[in-house]
Amino acid sequence: MLKNLLKATVFAVSLSVAGGAFIAPSLAETVYNRGNSADPESLDPHKTSTVYEAHILRDLFEGLVMQDQNAEMIPGAAESWTVSDDGTVYTFKLRSGATWSDGSPVTAEDFVYAFRRLEDPATGAEYASMLYVVKNGEEVNTGKAKPEELGVKAVDDLTFEVTLKSPTPYFLEMLTHQSTYPVNKAAIEKLGDDWIKPGNLVSNGAYTLAEFIPNDHIKLVKNPKFHDAANVKIDVVNYFPTEDRSTAIKRFEAGELDSNDDIPTEQMADLKAKFGDQLRIGPYLGTYYYAIKTDKAPWDNVELRNAISMAIDRDFLAEKVWQNSMIPGYSMVPPGIEGYESAMASFAEKSQIDREDEAKAILEKLGYGPDKPLKMEIRYNTSENHKNTAVAIQEQLKPLGVEVTLINTDTKTHYGLLEQKGDFDVARAGWIADYKDPESFLGISRKASGNNYANYNSPKFEELMDKAAAAGGKPEERLKYLSQAERVLVDDVPNLPLLYYSYKNLISPKLTGFVPNVMDIHPSRFISKE
């Protein structure tokens, strides 16, 4: 009788998870059901680019340095490090006794392999340009040097050394990004692309991969071999893709999700009334923008791009579409980075009526108007918020003789098209700081960046970015060059900044350790649940 009663109890508790997933925790397990806005395109750290993937990879892997619940940098796989007097050589001491989830030791050679793999052109890593600050990084990635010539080496099993081209103030914080995490050479060489599948993926973080059912859930389980396992309170983390925000709200209300990382903003007032302080909104270091295909006619015309940008009423988007949960944006670098002044669009101080008049005049000069409409496609990934934004822009541009059609795909398909440099006119995108530095927002528009969705190519912009990199040891001079580079970028309008982000999290009172921060980073290892 008792045995059957226990079976029934487990079944009843497990059945509460919606979406077709049957996840049966043991009675002793602490399970965190976490809403995540989309499924990952990949769980290979070198083949990812979105925050949806970063949340999961931050649980599975540990880089040289990491971020805590406050998004502050802490030691990771490296317990300490030193920097040469000239700021170009970093020497990391790895944790003694640290192991991969299969029990093999984590060594300096693992990081040598991972850094070389990221830069190897055969990998096709979108974030390869991130390591261009490392000696020979760009040369390796562009095939002008061999991976062995990259400025990294294993001094011994526990000592990893990196040599930079020039001093780079944000280098340590950059290493918190998933693209710099170590990967297991033995697993990759043995299994090829299958190394990231459940049962195959060898990781060194607080959790290991147990299940991955696309469009349903990803199950992570606590890694007993993790060096800080004793302080990890959550035994199981289930990530559920929640592209349909309205459905996610219902699941949260029913207790099927303990948190979700977005909300349908048209329901803002009702959600505030219903959930009170369970709904947390605050500044988030990110820019919501549209990428414009700059190498495709007629979008290769900078006047046309500027006219479209001027015609869009950002105040309306922020106040009506996003219910004041976002801020009107006129620069690629959002406010909030200490010591940096963003370069704003030239029309930012003009009234919306004046902007629209100027935009209309430009369009007429280029031969467009109600009698000869400009046809424009806007692509966006699934979300009520993205749809509502695109529909609002469609209506705003219609009086100027711009016929906008909307194309919606799921997030994986949407970003897959952009990353593969596919055909489009205008596409929704967003950029969240990988590190608190202007370069994080400007570097994505460099010619070599895998995240340069607009295919932007400006010699002047590249020159100023190079000068900023070379001035790494002179902070004021470096920021001056970055600001000048942003001026070129904003005037050329390859990306059309619309809004600055705010985070919008729903958090169950059962959770503790989910601390608000401008990076919206919340590693599961620091969260506990009643």
Distance CA 427, CA 159 (A): 44
When pLDDT is averaged across residues 449-472 and rounded to a whole number, the result is 96
Strands 426-432 and 374-381: parallel
Distance CA 196, CA 384 (A): 31
Quick: pLDDT tens for 354-408. Answer: 999 999 999 999 999 999 999 999 999 999 999 999 999 999 999 999 999 999 9
Give Cβ neighbours of residue 45 (< 8 Å, ≥ 6 apart). Answer: 57, 61, 114, 178, 179, 180, 181, 183
Instruction: Please give the C-alpha separations between residue 152 and each of 109, 276, 491, in angstroms, as whole numbers.
Output: 10, 50, 38
Q: Which of 235, 237, 224, 236 is nearest to 99 (CA)?
A: 224
The fold for domain 282-504 equals Dipeptide-binding Protein; domain 3 (3.10.105)
Give residue 415's pLDDT band: very low, low, confident or very high (50, 70, 90).
very high
Residue 18 has pLDDT above 50, yes or no: no
For the domain 2-239+508-529, what is the CATH code?
Answer: 3.40.190.10
Give residue 25's pLDDT band: very low, low, confident or very high (50, 70, 90).
low
Residue 10 has pLDDT above 90, yes or no: no
Give residue 20's pLDDT band: very low, low, confident or very high (50, 70, 90).
very low
> What does the pLDDT read at residue 13?
34
Of the candidate ranges 21-35, 138-152, 232-246, the one whose mean pLDDT is the lowest: 21-35
Amino acid type, 413: T
Percent of the chain with pLDDT over 90: 94
Residue 288 has pLDDT above 60, yes or no: yes
Percent of the chain with pLDDT over 70: 95
Per domain, the residue ranges of the chain are 2-239+508-529, 282-504
When pLDDT is averaged across residues 488-499 and rounded to a whole number, the result is 98
Quick: pLDDT tens for 48-104. Answer: 989 999 999 999 999 999 999 999 999 999 999 999 999 999 999 999 999 999 999
When pLDDT is averaged across residues 197-216 and rounded to a whole number, the result is 97
Q: Which of 178, 140, 206 is nearest to 48 (CA)?
A: 178
> What does the pLDDT read at residue 9?
31
Structure tokens, 422: 């596919």
Give the pTM. Answer: 0.88
> What does the pLDDT read at residue 16?
36
> What does the pLDDT read at residue 28?
82
Residue 395 DSSP label: H
71 neighbors 519 (Cβ within 8 angstroms): yes
Give residue 27's pLDDT band: very low, low, confident or very high (50, 70, 90).
low
Distance CA 23, CA 26 (A): 10
Quick: pLDDT tens for 162-172. Answer: 999 999 999 99
